[in-house]
Structure formats: C-alpha cells, structure tokens
Amino acid sequence: KAGVTQTPRYLIKTRGQQVTLSCSPISGHRSVSWYQQTPGQGLQFLFEYFSETQRNKGNFPGRFSGRQFSNSRSEMNVSTLELGDSALYLCASSGLSNRGEQFFGPGTRLTVL
C-alpha cells in the first residue's frame, strides 16, 4: 500500500505570494490533517478534513485554508505569504481502523523570501 504523498517537496516563494500544497492520503483513509513544523514551535495543528468537511481547525489566521476532494486528496492554501510562514508543512492521514494513528507524508519545505 502506498504511503502518504505530498507535492511539491520543496518550494520557494516571495512575500505576498500565495501557495497551494497537495496531499494524497493512503488509499482508504478519509481523514487528512495538516501541520506546520518549525524549530521553535514544533508541530502545530492547522486543520483536519474528513469526507470533504473540515472537522477541526487550529489557531492559524484565515490566510491558511484547505479543502478535501471526493477522492480524499487534500490541498492547503496559504495566501499573502509572510516570512514567518517558512516551515515544513506535513500532512497526515488516518483510517477508521487505526485508533487515530496518523501516517505522515514526507512534507513540503516552504521557504518565503
């Protein structure tokens, strides 16, 4: 079974631009969560989608948004990028039978200049 995939793996943008990141969960998994990871803050929860609906949301500004498609693939969008948005963005998927265990993708390294 293929793991969680994320594209692109690396991205360089400038302040004010917007970016879209993509995540394909493990086949059969309907829950997709997004996290931001920085050295000082650790893993910060952004949001979680299940069956195309956002079920949970972290404490990030409205510039961070997401969506999930009918095939469970998910996208995350960040508008009006700021220098502080430079981070590793991880997505994780989980299935109903995994007791909440999350399987992480390799992440997208975003650098904002």
Partner 1 sequence: GQNIDQPTEMTATEGAIVQINCTYQTSGFNGLFWYQQHAGEAPTFLSYNVLDGLEEKGRFSSFLSRSKGYSYLLLKELQMKDSASYLCAPGGGYQKVTFGIGTKLQVIP
Q: Which residues bind partner 1 (CB under 8 A)?
A: 31, 33, 35, 41-45, 48, 50, 55-56, 90, 94, 99-107
Nearest residue (CB) to partner 1, 22 versus 44:
44
CB of 47 to partner 1, least distance (A): 10
Type of residue numbered 34:
W
Nearest residue (CB) to partner 1, 35 versus 64:
35
Nearest residue (CB) to partner 1, 79 versus 104:
104
Nearest residue (CB) to partner 1, 19 versus 90:
90
CB of 80 to partner 1, least distance (A): 26
Type of residue numbered 14:
T
With CA atoms as reference, report the closest residue to 24 among 49, 56, 57. 49
Partner residues linked to 53 by β-bridges: 50
Q: Which DSSP category does 26 fall into?
A: P
SS (H, E, C) 79-96: CCCCHHHCEEEEEEEECH
Q: Which residue's entry shows tokens 């430079």?
A: 86
CB of 106 to partner 1, least distance (A): 6
CB of 16 to partner 1, least distance (A): 29
| Pairing assessment for the beta strands 87-94 and 74-78 based on DSSP bridges | unpaired
